[in-house]
Structure 1
Amino acid sequence: MTTPRIRINAVDLFSGAGGLTHGLAKAGINVRVGVDVDPACEYPYTQNNKAKFLLKSVGDIESEELASYYLPRGVRLLAGCAPCQTFSSYNQKASTDDDRWWLLRHFSRLAGELLPELVTMENVPGLLDHAVFDEFVESLEASGYKVSKQVVNCQDYGVPQHRNRLVLLASLVGPISLLTPAQFKAKPMSVRDAIGDGKMPPLAAGSADTVDRLHQASGLSPLNVRRIKASTPGGTWRDWPEELVADCHKKDSGKTYPGVYGRMTWEDAAPTMTTQFYGFGNGRFGHPTQDRAISLREGAILQSFPPNYQFVAPDAPVRMKTIGRLIGNAVPVTLGELIGKSIKAHVKTYREELLSQLAESQRA
């Protein structure tokens, strides 16, 4: 007798360029649609993923519209990463007046109305300190979900980057949790593993590769050329000659930011990719040996996107600020795969309960 197959169908809210969707798909989850308000996300999302793209604010979506994307006779997953800037430790002016603050409530609203069997959310750890997250968890629990939440360093799961993220998983059929690094069979990745040893053609600052337009590095001023030449992997601007140190760093208020204007090291993972990782002065984003900041493509690879992931149409210009935002804001693909495989393991554990629920829903 053939064992009935359980298919997991997903909707990805706040999908961005498709990092979470791509990871879920690698784990075998059928993502049906990605939803985002940023039109720049549509090309990379649809070009690299077998899913539709809905250009719409989550605040304007009704649950009936999302329900139409789920296939019958399948387990439903509602996934997403609400815009995190307002909760980030980098944001010193976080305010409940920011409209993005309330997007998590729309996520909660849709989960409560749809009642999918599974829910997952990824965000910055700082969200744990805000009442809106407590409300989100309480709403899920009131609807019958078993909820787990933990902060993970993506490096522990094979992302070549130090990136701490909050991951929430929720299920209507039983306790659910992330796989451990050992269960995920994670292999540690360094900057060298990701972009070193001839994997990427050498570049000069301000130039682009002739084959891969995304392998493009921002230009440097004459002063910043001198600064990067004076920088060593893992060092800081404190190692420079006095005449190269920025005036702001000579003040007491600037002495606590040694990580800017730094080079990465080959042996370690990269720092957290921000939306401005392509700028040498924006963090430790200097290439370990070449006198430039890392390229857009290198940033994408450090976010665990495949080297051939397309972010812009062949006939469209490569705008560094736009592409940098898409890459820096993305869920690392490997983290998405971890979430997907954790969900698949959960579904396997509670297979009979889910089959019973699906059969009951078909009779209703």
Structure 2
Amino acid sequence: MMMSKKQFRAIDFFCGGGGMTCGLRQAGIDVIAGVDFDADAKETYEYNNPKSTFIQADVKRLRSNFFEKNFSVKSNDDNLILVGCSPCQYYSIINTDKEKSVKSKDLLKNFARFIEYYRPGFVLVENVPGIMTNKNSILPYFLKKLEKLGYENIIYKIVDMSKYGVPQSRKRFSLIASRISELSITMPCEDSKVSIIRDFLGSANGFPKIPAGHKDLSDFNHTTAGLSDVNLKRISKTKHNGGSRFDWANDMELQLPCFIGKDDSFKDTFGRMWWDKPAPTITTKFFSISNGRFGHPDEDRAISLREGATLQTFPKDYVFKTNSIAATAKLIGNAVPCEYARRLGISIISSNI
């Protein structure tokens, strides 16, 4: 028995700028609301996802019956999906602010409170791989909680999103759980080949050549961060299509003291991407060549805001309503890639008895 995709409704917790919401909507799921503490995400989320209401709230303080009272959400709805892609600094390998990191540790426990109250048909979770390996992880508690609430149908794995239509090497923990035991649920199928940058960026894909510091005032936002004179020299000496900081390591004018004798550390910093490989993980700092391998394969600049969004598979008409490069990049880098979210939605829609 195939369920109609029109029946499914979802609430997207920790929604940010709306990557998960966008993908689920592309799959045909009605995302009735997104919840996030970040006020800067509201305008972007609601502008691009009409009929999905942004709830600015701290999940720890949001009352369990909020959606029952304000959106007529009922408990035990087999066609309701609760999505919890919580911030994950605590389990990330990337160095982050320690205080913020600790605060992010138990957000899944707060999310579980809503699962317990509404007992939706489906639960989706996306997080960093460290949530499976960290000895202090909340995951064992969360899985036991799901089982206690009747979610015997649980599947999860670490996925590399370059095998799911997303042109970046982005490994993530992905979970689908269903309370409906007779359903057959599966993860999205892997593609036969990885997605590569050439198929998404470059002039053939609608990205004209631009210099560092280019400001695009249109909604397309093909905007790039400026570079100092010395960083312009560094990127110009970095070989096209995958070059690295080792291309100028022996140039005393360009070499950074912090890298001398440390060739095995931060190898990707100041590097260029490859046309025929996936991009590295798009972080919130992708607009800066000093924060990773974020140099354009050919042009002497970091990738633009729109290029970063495209590597995250946001539609090209997705408008980022922010007031700075850093604020836009934060929404983009923190997002669940839309194409992977779409495929998760299709997996749920395709669940059958």
TM-score (norm 2): 0.90
CA contact (8 A) 1:209 1:216 kept: yes
Structure 2 residue aligned with 1:29: 29
Q: Which runs of 4+ in 1 moved over 6 A?
A: 3-6
Other structure's SS at 2:65 match = helix
Other structure's SS at 2:212 match = coil
1:229 and 2:236 correspond: yes
Structure 2 counterparts to residues 317-332 of structure 1, below 5 A:
318-332=323-337
- 1:264-316: per-residue Cα shift (whole Å, max 9, x none)? 1111111100000000111000011111001111100000001110111xxxx
Show structure 2 runs of 5+ residues with no match.
Answer: none
Structure 2 residue aligned with 1:91: 95
Give the deviation of 1:333 after TM superposition: 0.2
CA contact (8 A) 1:159 1:302 kept: yes
Structure 2 residue aligned with 1:238: 246
Give the deviation of 1:191 after TM superposition: 1.2
Structure 2 residue aligned with 1:178: 187
Give the deviation of 1:4 after TM superposition: 7.9
Matches of 2:124 and 2:244 in 1, distance apart?
38
Give the deviation of 1:79 after TM superposition: 0.5
1:333 and 2:338 correspond: yes
Matches of 1:331 and 1:21 in 2, distance apart?
9
Structure 2 residue aligned with 1:263: 272
Matches of 2:220 and 2:337 in 1, distance apart?
21
- 1:219-246: per-residue Cα shift (whole Å, max 9, x none)? 1111101100111221221121332221
Opposite residue 16 of structure 1, the aligned amino acid is: G
1:43 and 2:43 correspond: yes
Q: 1:187 to 1:209 in 2, by over 3 A?
A: farther
Other structure's SS at 1:59 match = coil
Give the deviation of 1:255 after TM superposition: 3.3
CA contact (8 A) 1:249 1:255 kept: no
CA contact (8 A) 2:219 2:319 kept: no
- Among 129, 134, 142, which residue is 1:136 paired with? 142
- Among 293, 296, 314, which residue is 1:287 paired with? 296
Range moving further from structure 2, 217-226 or 232-241: 232-241
Matches of 2:125 and 2:101 in 1, distance apart?
22
CA contact (8 A) 1:9 1:70 kept: no
CA contact (8 A) 2:88 2:101 kept: no
Structure 2 residue aligned with 1:189: 195
- 1:42-63: per-residue Cα shift (whole Å, max 9, x none)? 1111111130110001111122
Opposite residue 273 of structure 1, the aligned amino acid is: I
Other structure's SS at 1:215 match = coil
- Among 218, 225, 233, which residue is 1:218 paired with? 225
Number of residue pairs the alignment of both structures matches = 338
Structure 2 counterparts to residues 81-160 of structure 1, below 5 A:
81-91=85-95, 98-128=102-132, 129=134, 130-145=136-151, 146-160=153-167
Give the deviation of 1:318 after TM superposition: 3.5
Matches of 1:4 and 1:211 in 2, distance apart?
38
1:298 and 2:307 correspond: yes
Structure 1 residue aligned with 2:60: 59
Matches of 2:4 and 2:315 in 1, distance apart?
33
Give the deviation of 1:91 after TM superposition: 2.9
Other structure's SS at 1:149 match = strand
Structure 2 residue aligned with 1:200: 207
Matches of 1:247 and 1:139 in 2, distance apart?
50
Structure 1 residue aligned with 2:349: 344
Matches of 2:62 and 2:340 in 1, distance apart?
26
CA contact (8 A) 1:305 1:333 kept: yes
CA contact (8 A) 1:89 1:126 kept: yes
